[in-house]
Every structure is written in structure tokens, then in C-alpha cells.
Amino acid sequence: MCTIVMSERRLQTHQDVSADLNPHNIRKNNKQLQKFVATFDQFINPFGLEVPKDQLINISSGKSASPPVEEFLLNVEANGDNLRKSFISECQSDIRRFEKAIKKTSIDNFSKDCEKKKKIQVGGKIQEVKIQRDLFGRMLGISMDYNIDISKILSYPITSVPLSMCHLDGTIYKTDKSALMKCLEKEVEHDEPPQIDVLIIDGFFLLHTMKNVPKKFGSISKKMLQMVTQLKASRIDVIFDQYFTPSIKNYEHSQRFESAQLEYTITGPEQVRPSDFVKELKNSNFKEALVDFFISHWASDEMAPFIGGKIIHINFRKCHSFMVNETNKAISSITEELSCPEHEEADTKIVYHACKINYEANIIIRTIDTDVAAIMLGHMHRLNDESQVWMLTGTGNNLRYVNLTKIYEKLGESICRSLPGLHAITGCDYNPSFFRKAKLKPYKILKKYVEFQQAFMKFGDSKIIEDNIEQQDLYNVIQSFICYLYNVENINDVDAARLQIFIDSYTVSDVNEAFNRKKLRNFDASSLPPCKKAGEEDDVDNDEFREWSSSDDENENVNINDDNEEDF
């Protein structure tokens, strides 16, 4: 109505279509077009050949949409039209429907994939785990009225999760891994290497230490290579993790990854990185795309000045070598000898690279991970006799060299080869620790008793896994170790140790004292060792050590404890 009135009274002017042909408008439109084209160079060109055609890609971030988001965006117009028709139909059937509220529709766009989601699962089901603090006191009271065998009850986990290794919500107990590293460092006086022949770097660790991250991926790649070549070494190996599915490491990955695990595409050096770079480093797909970009970019001629006369390796899915030829051109190739595609973790790849050095060398490992120190000490007997290994650990003012060769010579082969097994069973990234037992006490027990050293050296041995008798003998020794850990040294059975601790907690000074349920003190179930049933169902420690014990072999499922196997 308003439009018609204004038109009749000639109050409304019509658009002059020829205005776009004015010189100043042409210049303005060309400038906007150039900005639009430049945006493709900074982010992702949706028409580029390298962009996957079967995925819906976010132009600005490079992420691919998850299936629910992709379905929503591709069908948003049709779904909106269906909702409109449905609303009209409802209003026609009931006039009062027009005044009622419209149900909110969920908008599943790209931002939906960035929402942080965290669920706690116990036994495959999302649930809340509850337990009475006075459960054991009540059990004792019931046993006074009924003929109940407490020892039989204590031979079972009782609770939904073993409280000696897990929180009430089902998440595993963690311990300070660096406590073991501190124990090892105190064993000897440390010195710096006179020279560095081979430098082996944990790639993702180094990436996390990068400050003032550049805006574009090409600049990030250059800065990464500059950081890699800071130390004067003729050979530098940069090692990156892989991410397999399924994996025994899935739990730890789920705890670390706060970013949505979406596919990511990096199309070139001019593409702008995500605004929160550190957050995206928790996305395994982004990390894989970033390493793939490093591999392709470091092979370009513009990186030749940074490589110089060095030999640089990147071990990811394969081992890629980079060097500069006589014409100052960067060349790359795949070194099959150093490729270990079956290894998932950088920890074992680092040790694999060290064990493949067949000449005398000063080897420096740049990482802060205690796992690497434990695994490396467990494989020192595999190195060239004249080679020496240092670990460059810490950051900032705490940066220091740890001489692993000196530690190995001080502790001896038996203790060092048993360290990976000890580290696995007392808690690492993927295995729970014993509640309040930490690393120091288990380490002292290991040093004192040779039988425990020999037992931990057998962890991951395929012969033990296939031989039920030897497996049971090994399990009995480990039970004895756990009993020592819980100060029940005269017992070699964890179920018997649980009963003994229970008895010690509720023993009365006067046998004639009347039993009073109200005065029963609470007993923390997490102070009991795990029962046999829990131990028999948990093979994670052995699986983890099997990977660690295969660190000097390109296939992780190969046993290295066989003295007759081929040496590398």
C-alpha cells in the first residue's frame, strides 16, 4: 500500500542502472573484486584442483564439515521450505496456531563443529558412578550378622571401576611422570656434549614451543625449519606422531583433543592459519595436514638456504629426506631404511632412529617426555658401542642436557631394560597409575630386587604371551611387586593383600570390645590394590610395553627380546 501511494505521488525514485558504469563505481567494483580474489589466495580456493570434491569445505578455515553439518547446509533451503509449508498448514487447521510460539530450529553450521563436548563413559555407557565411603565398614557389619566370606568378596572389584586406578567418574588416575625422570637425573652428574652429530627432535613438542606464530602457513613452515636447524648438527631428524584408529591410546587422545576432530585442508603457503593455532593443534586431522604441508614445502627451492649443508629427515608416515645439491636446489627423497609406518608414537620412532645409527656418534634427543627417556634406556644395549646419547630437556631457563649414557653405565643393563615395564605399570600417558604410589617408591623397589627387574624385562615378549605357564609365573612375580608397593611384603597374592589390609584397618585392640556400627570409621577403597579379576582383564600395560619394546624394529609387533634375532 505504501509503495503504491509513494509511486502515485512520485515520491519514490527509481534506481539509475547506468550508475554502475560511472568511472568511480568501476574503480570501486574492481577493487572489491581484487579483494575477493585475494581472499581465495589467503584461505582456500574452492575451485582449486587440490580441494576434495566429495567434502564440504569451510573456505576461511580449511576444515571440512562433519556429516550432520554437511547434511544441514546442503538441505537448508529445502528444510526451510518444508517448515514454512508445515506452519501454513497448521495455521489453516487451527487459527490459534498463528499466535503460538514456533519451535526453535537447531542451526548446524560450521560453528557447531567447534563446540566443545565432553562425556564421561564407564563400561561403554554414559553414567554417574556412586559409592558409599563406608562401604567396607558396612560389609564388616553385615558379616557379623550373616555367614559372609569377606575374602571371597574382596577377590572381586566390587565397584564399577577399580578405585585403586580410577576416579569415581571412570577416568584413570594420573601421576607425575617427570618424577621418574628426576630420579634418573639424580643418579649421575651430567655434562654437555662436546659436539652434536645427530639431533633427533620430537616434532609436535617443538611446534608447541613456537612463539609469535606467523599468520600464514608458509611462514610457519619457514619458522619451524629455522627452529629445527638452530643447533649445529650435520644430521637432524624431526619425528612426528601418527594417529591410528582404533588404538589403545584413544582414551588419552580423547582427553587431549578439545578441538573438533574435523578434516582439514592446507592448499598452499599463502593460506592463513586458524586464529587459535594452539587449539587446532589438538585436532589430529589438522596436525596431519600441517605435517604433510611441511613435507611438501621443505622440498621447495626457497627452503634451500635454511637446509644448507645439513641432511634433514621428517618421519611421519614415511621418512622423507631433504638436502641441497650442487646447484643450490632443494631435493627430497624417501629413506625406506628409516621409515617405520607401523609405529604410531614419536616416542618409539625416536628410539628407532637412534638404534639405526650404525656409526659412532653423539646423539641428542630434544624432548621433555619421560617416556622417551625410559624407552631409550631400555634400548641402550642396541646402540653402537661407541655412541653416546644425551637428552636435551626442559624449556627456557630450565633447558638442560641429561646424559643417558652415564645413567645406563651407572644403573646397568638389567635395571635399564626393565624401566619401560616399570614405567608402563606405574602409570604413563595411556595406563592408570596406582593411587598415591607415584614413581619414586616403585623405582626404589625395582632397584633393590633383581627378580622384579627380570620380570619387567619380559613384558611384551611374544613367547610369554603364547606360553600360559610362563605367563602365570610372570603374573605371580608382578603380584609380588604390587604387594611390596602396598607394604604387604610377606604376601605374594594381591587378593590376600587386599584382605590383610582390610583386616589391619578394622582390627580391634580388645577382642572383647562390643561391636558398634555407628563408630565404624570410613575406609577409602582406593587404598586397596587391584584384585586379580581386574588385573586379568587389563592387558593395556603389556600392549603398551610391547610397542615400546619394539622401538628398534620398523614393525612394532616384532619382539626384540629374542637374543637370536637379527641385529640392526
pLDDT at residue 429, as a whole number? 79
At 34, the pLDDT band (50, 70, 90 cuts) reads confident
pLDDT at residue 115, as a whole number? 57
| Pairwise CA distance, residues 70 & 68, whole Å | 5
Cis peptide preceding 530, ω within 30 of 0: no
Whether residue 340 has pLDDT greater than 60 = yes
Whether residue 278 has pLDDT greater than 90 = no
pLDDT at residue 157, as a whole number? 78
At 127, the pLDDT band (50, 70, 90 cuts) reads very low
The owner of cell 628407532 is: 352
447-476 per-position pLDDT tens digit: 999 999 999 998 877 777 777 888 888 999
Considering just the CA atoms, what is the radius of gyration of the chain in Å?
32
Q: Which residues of 472-486 are buried (b: 16+ CB within 10 A; e: fewer)?
A: eebbebbbbbbbbbb
Whether residue 205 has pLDDT greater than 50 = yes
pLDDT at residue 41, as a whole number? 64
| Pairwise CA distance, residues 12 & 437, whole Å | 83
DSSP H/E element including 86: helix 76-93
DSSP H/E element including 419: helix 413-425
Whether residue 562 has pLDDT greater than 60 = no
For residues 371 and 252, is the Cβ–Cβ distance under 8 A? no
257: its cell numbers: 583433543
Q: Where are the beta strands (DSSP E) in 206-292?
A: 233-239
Q: Which domains does the chain have, with CATH numbers?
A: 41-115 (no CATH), 142-166+413-549 (no CATH), 187-409 (3.40.50)
The 3-state DSSP composition of the chain as helix, strand, coil percent (nearest 5) reads 45, 10, 45
Collapse the DSSP code of 296 into the 3-class scheme (helix H, G, I; strand E, B; otherwise coil) and give the result: helix
Lowest pLDDT segment from 334-338, 501-505, 531-535: 531-535
Q: Identify the CA nearest to 554 among candidates 381, 416, 355, 361.
A: 355
Q: What is the mean pLDDT of residues 272-277?
A: 88
Taking all residues of the chain, what is their mean pLDDT, rounded to a whole number? 82
Whether residue 78 has pLDDT greater than 50 = yes
pLDDT at residue 21, as a whole number? 79
CB atoms < 10 A from the CB of 527, how many? 14
Q: What is the mean pLDDT of residues 271-283?
A: 87
DSSP H/E element including 331: strand 330-334
